[in-house]
Structure formats: structure tokens, C-alpha cells
Amino acid sequence: MAGPVFLLAMSAGVLDRRLSPGSAAGSAAGAQYRVFQGRFHGLQLILGCAMALFAGGFAFQTLSFSMPGLVRDWNIAEGLIGPLLSAAILGLLLGYLFVAPLADRLGARPVVCGAMTVLAGATGICLVAPNIEFLILGRVLLGIAIGAAFPSAVSAASQHGSQRWRGAQVVGIYVAYSLGFLAAGLASAWLVPLHGWRAAWGLTVPAALIAAALLWNALPARRPHAPQSRPVVSLFAPHLRAGTLLFWLMCSIGLGLFYAVQGWLPLLSAREGVTYSSAVTSANLFTVGNALGAVPMIWWADRMGPFRALVCVSAIGLAGIVLLGMHTGEGGTMFLIAAVLAGIGIGGGQKGMIAAASQFYPLPLRATGIGWALGLGRFGALCGPLLIGFVTMHDVAGGTALLSLALPVPVIMLAALWLDRAYGRIDRTTDHQPPQPALPRDRTKR
């Protein structure tokens, strides 16, 4: 009992009254408490950011698993299925581009906590929606909330801890978004058969409110820096212009690759003669690899810097895509291994891009920079599946269509190599400094 009572006494200020500030015992106890308080605050911040991304991923994905029952019960026309599925994507785009930058003006706390509250409310609208119009409204609001919270939470997490481990922290909380996707599938498989197609949606509400509660105490009430008058325009300052354009390009390609492979892999492989079970298994393994991509990205980023690590994981993705295309009609072990490798490379690349962006942009522009990279990357997410559809319309074999996805991967690798040569490890003295050009020795000795 002594330990908990001692900590409670410190937090209530009892220790300060019993130990004089000038005494050795008081100084030592105060120092220990500050260390404990700092570590607890950092843990609370990281957990809150991870919970926010988990809630967003869970909320975004639950509709996919509810669609069969929803279409059956409401007798939805095929023409309305597309708008319903696209509503959250539209909201994401609006949140990324227009709401997330407010974190650089107002601070992360009102934006992230407000977004989590809106996410809970939007989920409530979906739960009680009497028709398709209200459901679409709820999905748009849900997407806006996720788009606002994602860059702001990543920016907040990147401010805590040493510069060396910030990229790893960002990659780690990004994994929480993928885990939300996975949890949505597991919860839906359990609850929907028992309680109907809306059953799993309600789990978003406690997750979002828990995230808001954790971050309300962990994030500062005010922004820790002077706001930028025009944060989007500031992304094109001379020292940031080239990096901004390359991040937009890389995110567009990366998201396009992810949605193209995820959406088309089961269909193309089944069309080439692979069994249904193998086709579904390959898609699931691609999703698993997408989450596992965080491991090599963290490992290499610590040793080589974020940009060279991005080159390495992209090379894994390139190899995986090529192997997928070569073995599409065969199935078997090599086909499944290729799906995992493609997932690791594409997923690790996505996480690495955001981790690198969180280090590249100075603190006053970080949420804006990440939000616009993710927002404009959504155009790649729309174009990737459409391009594969265009290729398959011309009677191109499924393996060849998948091989065509390997073509843009070297563009990501070349862009990352250019950024590495220009900025190296993105070392800076403070979070408010712009990225400094790499020294010649930094280019050669890492």
C-alpha cells in the first residue's frame, strides 16, 4: 500500500508540504515524480493517438461487412450502392484537406478530440438511420472525422520522444488503423449473424470516446507554436517545395497500389483459374502483410534514415508484385508468399511515407503537410483500381494486369532516393526548424 499512497500523495501535493523544496529528499522525490509523470504522459499520448486511429479504421471498414444484410433488408438499388460506399471516402478527402490543417492553427486537442466526438455522433446517426439518405450523411460525417483526426494524431505523436524514435512511433500508431480494419472483420463475423447488420457499428462509440478522454488530458490546451497565416501556401516555401510535391506523388502511387491490389487480387486470380479459397486467402495475406510492413520499416528507418528505409521496403513490394503477376494462374505456396511480400512492401511504404513526412515538416506545418499528402493520395486511391479495370477491359491476362502495377514502384524509390540525397536523416535541432540539407558525409557514411 505504501507505493500507491506515496504516488497519490505526490499528485495531491502532500509531498511538497512535508518535504521542503530545498531539502535533498524533496529534490530527489520531485525529480522522480517528474520522470514518472513525463513517462505516463507520453504513454497516454501514444495510446490515445493509437486508439483514435483504431476507432477510425474500425468505423470505416464496418460498412463493408454489413453490405450484404443492408442491401437485402432495405432492398437498395444497385445505383445507390456506389454513393454509399464512396460517402466515407468523400468525407476523408474533406477532412484531410480542410479540417486537419486547423490543428496547425488551433492545436491538436480541439481537432482530434472534436473529431472523435463527431465520429461517435456520426456512428450514432448510422445506427438509427431510417433510410439510405441519412446513412450516406452519417458516412460522410464519419469520413470527415477520420480525415481530421488521422494527420492531427500523427502530428501529435511525432512531437513526443527523441528524434530517433519518432518515425517508429508514427509507424506504430499507423498500425492501429490497420488493426481497426482487422477488428471490424472479426467483430462483424461474430455479431452480425446474431444481432443484424448494424450490430458491430456501435463498438465505434466507446472506442472514439475513450480516445477523446485520453487525448484531452494528454494534449496541450493551446498550440505550442505561433500559427501559420496560410499553412497550405507555406508547404511550397523554397526549402519545402520539392519535398511536398514528391510526398504527394509517393502517397498517390502508394495508395493507388494498395487499393488496386486489395480490390482486384481475388477477382484476377480467380479468373486465371485459382480456387476461390486460394484467391480469398491471398487477399487476406496481403492485408496481414500490410500490417507487418511496419516491422522492417521501423528497423531500417532507425539504421538508415526514413528515405532509404522507404527504398528498401518498396523493393520488397516490387518483388512481391512481380511474383504475384508471374504466379497468378498457378496459386500454391509461391503465390501466397508473393501476396505477403506485396503487402509488406506496399503497407510498409505507406507507413514509411507518413513517418518521413512527420519528420520532414516542421511542427507548425506538420498536420497540414500530412493531411494534404494523404488527401491528394486519395486521388491515387481512386485511379489505381480504375486503371486495372481499364487494362482488363482489353482482354489482358490477370497476371499481366498485376505486373503492370510494378511500373510505378520505381518512381517511389527514385523520389525517396532524391529526398535522401537532399535531406538525409532530416536531423534538426528543434521541431520548429525546416529540414536541413544533408551534409556530404551524411550522404555517404550512413
3-state helix/strand/coil string of 172-205? HHHHHHHHHHHHHHHHHHHHHHHHCCCHHHHHHH
What average pLDDT does range 97-109 have in this prediction?
Answer: 90
Can you read off the three cell numbers belonging to residue 57?
A: 479504421
pLDDT at 302: 80
pLDDT at 120: 97
Which residues, other chains included, contact 186 with Cβ-Cβ below 8 Å and sequence gap of 6+?
none
Please say if the pLDDT value at position 17 is more than 50: no
Cβ atoms of 92 and 147 within 8 Å: the answer is yes
What is the reported pTM? 0.78
Please say if the pLDDT value at position 31 is more than 80: no
Cβ atoms of 145 and 56 within 8 Å: the answer is yes
Please say if the pLDDT value at position 153 is more than 50: yes
Which residues, other chains included, contact 405 with Cβ-Cβ below 8 Å and sequence gap of 6+?
257, 260, 261, 321, 325, 384, 388
Which residues, other chains included, contact 277 with Cβ-Cβ below 8 Å and sequence gap of 6+?
none
What average pLDDT does range 86-98 have in this prediction?
Answer: 90
Let me know the angle formed at the C-alpha of 353 by 378 and 407, rounded to the nearest 5 degrees.
70
Please say if the pLDDT value at position 2 is more than 50: no
Q: Residues 173-183: pLDDT tens digits?
A: 888 998 898 88
What average pLDDT does range 57-69 have in this prediction?
Answer: 87
Q: Residues 307-355: pLDDT tens digits?
A: 999 999 999 999 999 999 998 877 788 999 999 999 999 999 999 999 8
pLDDT at 427: 52
Count CA within 13 A, CB hemisphere, residue 359. Answer: 31
DSSP assignment of 198-230: TGGGGGHHHHHHHHHHHHHHHS-SS-SSPPPSS
Please say if the pLDDT value at position 14 is more than 80: no
pLDDT at 212: 96
**Alpha carbon 244 to chain centroid distance?**
18
Taking alpha carbons only, the member of 419, 420, 418 closest to residue 442 is: 420
pLDDT at 161: 55
Please say if the pLDDT value at position 285 is more than 50: yes
Share of the chain above pLDDT 90, in %: 41
Q: Residues 314-325: pLDDT tens digits?
A: 999 999 999 999
pLDDT at 21: 46
287 confidence band (pLDDT: 50, 70, 90): confident
Please say if the pLDDT value at position 9 is more than 50: no
Taking alpha carbons only, the member of 112, 119, 144 closest to residue 214 is: 112
pLDDT at 25: 47
Q: Residues 225-272: pLDDT tens digits?
A: 555 556 788 899 988 999 999 999 999 999 999 988 887 888 788 888
Cβ atoms of 111 and 47 within 8 Å: the answer is no
Complete domains list, the chain, with CATH: 38-224 (1.20.1250.20), 234-445 (1.20.1250.20)
Dihedral of alpha carbons 111, 113, 117, 120, sign: positive
**Alpha carbon 93 to chain centroid distance?**
14
* Of 16 and 123, the one with more pLDDT: 123
Share of the chain above pLDDT 70, in %: 82
Q: Distance between terminal CA atoms of the chain?
A: 50
